[in-house]
């Protein structure tokens, strides 16, 4: 079983691609809807909530957990791997969505610094749209500059966007918010047009069409869920002990810390199919 975690619905955009790419695996999705959004919380709180979620998924039998949340990946992942994992669960692993994106942008392997095929932005400018906390963490510009110093990054926080998406605000409202954030980003570049744009929050694929419309035509939108799915497939090939064995259960189970009915009613927009969420308390009883 592979755990997939997000503060709310956003990780479903990733899970959808994971299932398409790895149909033989069994995924347990946990959305911490009771505490979403994370993007405006303090780092210490994000760390604590993320750790609790990971422990829960480990206790349920997941030995590998993917943080399908940029905010948790940028704020909590490195600290969790360094301070907690090796002492508390040395045979388990936690991965994030942040590393595969940086690898794809810089065409450089995170593990050994070797070049990867298919650089997206040769040099020039990359725009990163993300939650306030991800932007404040500075993680994207820092990690990109370490691997591809020739790339410049313009980071744009979209502080209201996750709450508006989770709150099912009308498309016209979402579109005008996105248009505003894109205009703010462009005002910072001194007229330069980004070659690529990262939607560095797993909620944003839901408003990708508004970003595509608002961004200059030559700016390429990166597909984070697809990139993450390809990266997990590669990881499982290299670490087969975390992969499904022939004949084992496949599919997905959906858990939330929020109200399962409310969460399920809205989930199909993110997942592309009907989804039945269950209370995470059930998971604790198993």
Q: Which residues are catalytic?
A: 69, 201
Stretch in the footprint of ligand DGL (CB under 6 A) among 4-12, 99-107, 111-119, 177-185: 4-12
Contact flags string 57-96 toward ligand DGL, x per CB under 6 A: ------------xxx-------------------------
- Cα end-to-end span (Å), the chain: 14
Contact 5, 57 (CB under 8 A): yes
Q: What are residue 252's DSSP bridge partners?
A: 27
Longest dimension (CA), the chain: 57
Determine if 203 is a binding residue for ligand DGL (CB under 6 A): yes
**At its nearest, how many Å lie between ligand DGL and the CB of residue 9?**
8
Determine if 131 is a binding residue for ligand DGL (CB under 6 A): yes
Determine if 10 is a binding residue for ligand DGL (CB under 6 A): yes
**At its nearest, how many Å lie between ligand DGL and the CB of residue 53?**
12
C-alpha–C-alpha distance, residues 19 and 61, integer Å: 19
**At its nearest, how many Å lie between ligand DGL and the CB of residue 154?**
18
Determine if 37 is a binding residue for ligand DGL (CB under 6 A): yes
Contact 31, 7 (CB under 8 A): yes
Place of tokens 């009907």: 274
Which residues does 241 contact at the CB level (< 8 Å), separation at least 6?
none
C-alpha–C-alpha distance, residues 31 and 266, integer Å: 13
Near ligand DGL by CB under 6 A: residue from 50, 134, 219, 256:
134
Binding region for ligand DGL (CB under 6 A): 6-8, 10, 36-39, 69-71, 131, 134, 162, 201-203
């Amino acid at each position: 079983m592979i755990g997939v975690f997000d503060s709310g619905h956003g990780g479903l955009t990733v899970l959808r691609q994971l299932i398409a790419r790895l149909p033989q695996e069994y995924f347990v999705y946990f959305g911490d809807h009771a505490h979403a959004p994370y993007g405006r919380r303090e780092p210490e709180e994000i760390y604590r909530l993320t750790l609790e979620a990971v422990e829960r998924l480990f206790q349920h039998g997941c030995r590998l957990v993917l943080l399908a949340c940029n905010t948790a990946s940028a704020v909590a992942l490195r600290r969790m791997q360094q301070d907690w994992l090796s002492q508390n669960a040395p045979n388990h692993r936690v991965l994030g969505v942040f590393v595969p994106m940086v690898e794809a942008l810089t065409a450089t392997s995170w593990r050994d610094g070797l070049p990867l095929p298919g650089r997206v932005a040769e040099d020039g400018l990359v725009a990163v749209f993300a939650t306030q906390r991800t932007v404040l963490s500075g993680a994207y510009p820092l990690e990109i500059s370490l691997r591809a110093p020739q790339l410049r990054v313009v980071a744009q926080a979209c502080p209201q966007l996750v709450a508006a998406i989770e709150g099912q605000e009308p498309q016209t409202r979402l579109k005008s918010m996105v248009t505003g954030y894109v205009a703010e980003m462009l005002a910072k570049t001194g007229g330069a047009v980004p070659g690529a744009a990262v939607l560095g929050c797993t909620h944003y694929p839901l408003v990708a069409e508004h970003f595509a419309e608002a961004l200059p035509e030559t700016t390429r939108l990166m597909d984070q869920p697809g990139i993450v799915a390809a990266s997990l497939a590669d990881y499982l090939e290299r670490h087969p002990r975390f992969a499904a064995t022939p004949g084992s259960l496949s599919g997905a189970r959906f858990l939330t810390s929020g109200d399962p009915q409310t969460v399920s009613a809205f989930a199909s927009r993110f997942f592309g199919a009907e989804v039945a969420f269950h209370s995470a308390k059930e998971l604790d009883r198993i």
